[in-house]
Amino acid sequence: MVGGVFGCFITRQGLEELRRYEYRGGGSTPIDRLMNPWWDYVAGKLPLWLSPNLLTVFGFGCTLLCMLLVMSWMPHLREAAPRWVYFAMCLLLFVYQTLDAVDGKQARRTNSSTPLGQLFDHGCDSFSTVFAVFINAATARMGVCMFSYVLLAILQMQMFIYSWWEIHFHVYRCHTGVTGVTEGQLVTMGVNLLGAIFGPDIFLLTFGQCLALTYSPAAAFFPDCLLNTPMQYIISFPFYLLLTYMLVSDIFNGCRLVNDKALAIREFRLVHDCLSSPKLSTEGSWSCPVSCVVEYRPQRERRTQGLLSSLSPRLQVSPKKTARRREAHLRLAACASTYTRIYVCASSCMDLEIELDAFLGQQLHAGRCVAPRQRRSLTGVSTFVF
Same domain, 329 and 203: no
Domain shared by 265 and 295, yes or no: no
Q: Are residues 208 and 295 in the same domain?
A: no
**pLDDT at position 373:** 34
What pLDDT, on the 0 to 100 scale, is given for residue 327? 36
Indicate whether 246 and 283 sit together in one domain. Answer: no
Determine which helix (DSSP H) or strand (DSSP E) holds 189, and give its type and residue range: helix 181-198
Within a domain: 17: no
User: pLDDT tens for residues 97-106?
Assistant: 999 889 888 8
Task: Taking residues 41-68, report their average pLDDT.
Answer: 92
* Residue 6 forms part of a structural domain: no
The answer to whether residue 1 sits within a structural domain is no
Same domain, 302 and 156: no
Contacts 24+ apart (CB under 8 A), 61-69: 62/92, 62/93, 62/95, 62/96, 62/99, 63/92, 63/93, 63/96, 63/127, 63/128, 63/131, 63/132, 64/131, 65/92, 66/92, 66/93, 66/131, 66/135, 67/131, 67/134, 67/135
Our count of domains for the chain comes to: 2
Domain match, 348 and 231 both: no
Question: Residue 329 domain-assigned?
Answer: yes
Q: How confident is the model at residue 316 (pLDDT cuts 50, 70, 90)?
A: very low
Q: Exactly one of 76, 122, 175, 329 is catalytic; name it.
A: 122
Question: How many percent of the chain have pLDDT more than 90?
Answer: 15
Q: State whether 245 and 283 are in the same domain.
A: no
| Residue 82, pLDDT score | 93
On whether both 294 and 169 belong to a single domain, the answer is no
Which of 71-85, 108-122, 179-193, 306-320 is the least confident region?
306-320
Question: Which CATH number do you get for residue 85?
Answer: 1.20.120.1760
Shared domain check, 372 and 308: yes
Residue-level pLDDT at 10: 65
Q: Would 8 be classed as within a structural domain?
A: no
**Does the pLDDT at position 184 exceed 70?**
yes
Residue 122 among the catalytic residues: yes
Dist. CA 121–CA 248, nearest whole Å: 25
Instruction: Convert the pLDDT of each residue in 320-372 to its tens digit.
Output: 443 333 333 333 333 322 223 333 233 333 323 333 333 332 233 333 333 33
Residue 287 has pLDDT above 70, yes or no: no
Domain boundary among 240, 272, 304: 272
